[in-house]
Structure 1
């Protein structure tokens, strides 16, 4: 994830950089709950899970706790996962977000041409730059005009989103609920947590999730510099602070934060989870308790203040963008940086190159509750059409969601062999052309995407270290019980509630207010609708149990 606020992309609210509400949770049920809520509705069964029988990993994964399978080498033999060309020769238009420069035109883009040919359609892709995405989607939702065939939603908190989707997009339930999903084998290979994080609207399914692994926001570190100052892999709070001090001198700092949506700071999730705070919410005695009301979260605020007081974080953290801070990480201005797990990508590792080893920081306390993600980056919805066309659009998503170890995955993720990449001794090497023709510049990965695995060509040690990190921290990880739920107050006042919390976090972190002022922030949040939000989520949670 490479642009602006990770928070905007994960839909997590001021606190939940790691794991925000799903498709349903960001939009409410309108006055009195409305028809988009799930309470009292017949709930469609979750799509069946039919795992892909692909290549054996070097180390196994475990979906139950969020450990990904590890592949040190690229498979020598690939499987054909799609039997027939999915398209019918028609024109298909998809609107997606982008975090890169616009793609080269179709006539000049061999990757785009090959993808269109493989899909069997004339694929038109409307790319919306991330800074313009919220306004573009708000305008689209308000216009009442004709929609593209496929509209990709990130988990950004867009007001009344569920109502719009229910009103304007195709109900997919009869085609994908339960065993019906098996007609689309690659979609059936999407793990249950991705569907559950997306959620239902009025008991029905209106989208296909774009899977992301369970590990969520964490602290990426320059392991080379940490080793130089003797920082252990498993550390406690004092050792963490000592390492940050040792790494901060001259124009270099131990850590960097960046401002996220609603003025929160990206570092809070790492410290809150290290302290053992709940992942946004906890369910206790049938009720919802917000993480900000817990002593563990207040303890994390104290650490944020301690980091600032010690002058070990980048001084312009409150105004720096995520892109700025990522560049500071690559050039070693900062030795650690909180970010989403998607930051662990080949394109980012290539920017660090061989100058230093990229690692993941482990929590610094034994009571840590590593926060799990929502399980998806967003979801694809479809313009209403006759069943045969919706089936065809789902087959396109099915192709683009082909798993690691398949021929379709290779085309979508690497392009054309000999033109965009080469393979030798189990290692994929991209060419110069790949830099401008790939699934990031032409973001078909936001129409359909494969369940993620740990495979980082050219960086096997980083992949192994990431797998060891997952095995170490994910058994104690916790999910956000809000994922996939509906709430009218979240739709009507979610931004305002997040703003209150975010302002309080920033004021304490930068010393404008004492940690004790957090109680006043929580009181303001409760009065503005926080208590009502908790009541609505508890009711919806029981309906989805």
Structure 2
């Protein structure tokens, strides 16, 4: 394989995605020859990195073991420096990463990007792939014989044979981050163990660095102002929820919005499934994995969504609407609730809503609710196989980008340069107009390394308090997905197909193309296509992990 990352290779991969780079650098060759055995059963597993929490500023309200985050109403006045010297050596570092924003401004005119490069002492070159194209583009990358970028970001999207690819062509980080050796990278040691577990091992080894997310999973965002004006309380039961969502629809306004990506899998139903008490993806019964799809509570959730659609609560184009367009309708108040990942809370309150209405999160509506936790990660980053010195450099880059809240490194990565992208006053951080186009969303470095999240919404202390109260009310009764971090060869090879089967069936039933009774046929199809095999493999993995 060539020792150069050719520009035409990047162009071929990027396709319709944005190529935020120039001609590529000389890179080390990549390995080959996966064992094909990505499971951990029967393997001598590497210990998880030792957790060494950052001793940062005291919060206004503490977090707890249920997943409630520490609350910071004010930005810390005295920051500390956590990385004593720049991690890089002046070389080029290439990366492929998903994006949910506009393409970044070119490096030559992008002061945020220039500041990041200076702080890292590298020339960062990024291929940003729009989320709608991510699955296809990553499949192209994994099938390609071309040289790889230095850093490859994997989201939580199920990609066929991604773990075989990681095992074959990415660097084994076990001897650099496993156990106490992770202390060489304090920001990575500050990543909580649940995030490493959510990423999981491959063949007993550690191949990536997780992009941590708080424990809440996909949540229902609500326009509290609209519901408050209608006399809808924060606590509701099933019929009150239905009345609230249907009563707000009409005249160009809808109670609930959906999108094509949400109805492509579990995203659209997570809140509804947890409300009547459905297990989070799987339930462990006497060592066996039982799919939530087979439970009466999950079918009840589908019936609830069908009922809401028949009553006109959903935007009628929810099956085809893009995620970007849905957000526009949410921001302008024509859609009063949407499902989104909890990690987007800060973006919603600051950049999107921008005080047009009060933001809130919905409590579950069922009396025996089991709110679903997330996996604890948004995804993870891997590094192309290279010399030990090169891998250590890339780990240092990730360590810098993962610097915790309360450090000067965190401030640069999240807000840019003081006086250029933000200012400070007694209320904390105030972003400038330039920050709207130069930030870590448009240049998505936050998907190359990220600090463990705290609950701090600059300029929105009341919203932060509301989210903290929601966490205290909901998380103690929440449930985790027992599959998190386990490996299934069938899931790896057929996960996208199985997810699509579920998503297509949910969408067809909710919007009236099929009756609710068709769900049993969909479950049978899912089981025969590999669902039962996944359950068997997960049970073996779980038993081996004890």
Further displaced range: 43-52 or 506-515: 506-515
Give the Cα–Cα distance (whole angstroms) in 2 for the partners of residues 385 and 131 of structure 1. Answer: 31
Q: Label 1:419 to 1:364 Cα distance change in 2 as closer, same or farther (>3 A).
A: same
Structure 2 stretches lacking a partner, 5+ long: 1-32
Q: CA deviation at 1:142?
A: 1.3
Give the Cα–Cα distance (whole angstroms) in 1 for the partners of residues 178 and 367 of structure 2. Answer: 40
Further displaced range: 202-211 or 261-270: 261-270
Contact kept? 2:258, 2:339, Cα under 8 Å:
yes
The equivalent residue for 2:396 is 395
The equivalent residue for 2:455 is 454
Q: Secondary structure at the match of 2:198?
A: helix
Superposed CA offset, 1:205-235 (max 9, x none)? 0100111111111110010111111111111
List 4+ stretches of structure 1 deviating above 4 A.
Answer: none
Pair 1:378-2:379 in alignment: yes
Q: CA deviation at 1:262?
A: 6.9
Q: CA deviation at 1:192?
A: 0.8
Q: CA deviation at 1:246?
A: 2.2
Q: Secondary structure at the match of 1:209?
A: strand
Q: Which has the higher contact order (CA 8 A, sep 6+)?
A: 1
Contact kept? 1:265, 1:318, Cα under 8 Å:
no
The equivalent residue for 1:197 is 198
Give the Cα–Cα distance (whole angstroms) in 2 for the partners of residues 319 and 422 of structure 1. Answer: 40
Q: CA deviation at 1:186?
A: 0.4
The equivalent residue for 2:353 is 352
Q: TM-score, normalised on structure 2?
A: 0.91
Give the Cα–Cα distance (whole angstroms) in 1 for the partners of residues 436 and 120 of structure 2. Answer: 22
The equivalent residue for 1:36 is 38
Give the Cα–Cα distance (whole angstroms) in 1 for the partners of residues 324 and 164 of structure 2. Answer: 33
Q: CA deviation at 1:141?
A: 1.3
Q: Secondary structure at the match of 1:97?
A: strand
Contact kept? 2:246, 2:308, Cα under 8 Å:
no
Q: Label 1:530 to 1:194 Cα distance change in 2 as closer, same or farther (>3 A).
A: same
Pair 1:134-2:155 in alignment: no
Pair 1:113-2:114 in alignment: yes
Give the Cα–Cα distance (whole angstroms) in 2 for the partners of residues 481 and 428 of structure 1. Answer: 39
The equivalent residue for 1:500 is 501
Q: Secondary structure at the match of 1:423?
A: strand
Superposed CA offset, 1:333-356 (max 9, x none)? 111111111221246533322221
Give the Cα–Cα distance (whole angstroms) in 2 for the partners of residues 274 and 408 of structure 1. Answer: 40
Q: Label 1:266 to 1:461 Cα distance change in 2 as closer, same or farther (>3 A).
A: same
Q: CA deviation at 1:76?
A: 0.5
Superposed CA offset, 1:25-49 (max 9, x none)? xxxx99xx94211110001001110
Q: TM-score, normalised on structure 1?
A: 0.91
Contact kept? 1:220, 1:361, Cα under 8 Å:
yes
Contact kept? 2:73, 2:461, Cα under 8 Å:
yes
Q: Label 1:242 to 1:260 Cα distance change in 2 as closer, same or farther (>3 A).
A: same
Structure 1 stretches lacking a partner, 5+ long: 1-28
Contact kept? 1:265, 1:506, Cα under 8 Å:
no
Q: CA deviation at 1:245?
A: 2.6
Q: Label 1:387 to 1:526 Cα distance change in 2 as closer, same or farther (>3 A).
A: same
Give the Cα–Cα distance (whole angstroms) in 1 for the partners of residues 346 and 486 of structure 2. Answer: 30
Further displaced range: 146-155 or 48-57: 146-155
Pair 1:48-2:57 in alignment: no
Q: Aligned ranges for residues 19-418 of structure 1 at < 5 Å?
A: 34-62=36-64, 64-260=65-261, 263-264=264-265, 266-346=267-347, 348-418=349-419
Contact kept? 1:150, 1:381, Cα under 8 Å:
yes
Contact kept? 1:259, 1:322, Cα under 8 Å:
yes
Contact kept? 2:38, 2:489, Cα under 8 Å:
no
Contact kept? 1:346, 1:456, Cα under 8 Å:
no
Superposed CA offset, 1:502-542 (max 9, x none)? 23212221223332322222222222222111111111111
Q: Secondary structure at the match of 2:275?
A: helix
Contact kept? 2:263, 2:507, Cα under 8 Å:
no
The equivalent residue for 1:465 is 466
Q: Label 1:402 to 1:144 Cα distance change in 2 as closer, same or farther (>3 A).
A: same
Q: Label 1:131 to 1:527 Cα distance change in 2 as closer, same or farther (>3 A).
A: closer
Q: Label 1:495 to 1:153 Cα distance change in 2 as closer, same or farther (>3 A).
A: closer
Q: CA deviation at 1:169?
A: 0.8
Contact kept? 1:58, 1:70, Cα under 8 Å:
yes
Contact kept? 1:415, 1:438, Cα under 8 Å:
yes
Further displaced range: 293-302 or 496-505: 496-505
Contact kept? 2:150, 2:383, Cα under 8 Å:
yes
Q: CA deviation at 1:264?
A: 4.4
Give the Cα–Cα distance (whole angstroms) in 2 for the partners of residues 346 and 157 of structure 1. Answer: 24
Q: Report the aligned-residue RMSD.
A: 1.7
Contact kept? 1:262, 1:495, Cα under 8 Å:
no
Q: Label 1:345 to 1:87 Cα distance change in 2 as closer, same or farther (>3 A).
A: same
Give the Cα–Cα distance (whole angstroms) in 2 for the partners of residues 515 and 129 of structure 1. Answer: 34
Superposed CA offset, 1:269-322 (max 9, x none)? 111000110011111110000001011111111111110121122122122122
Further displaced range: 508-517 or 186-195: 508-517
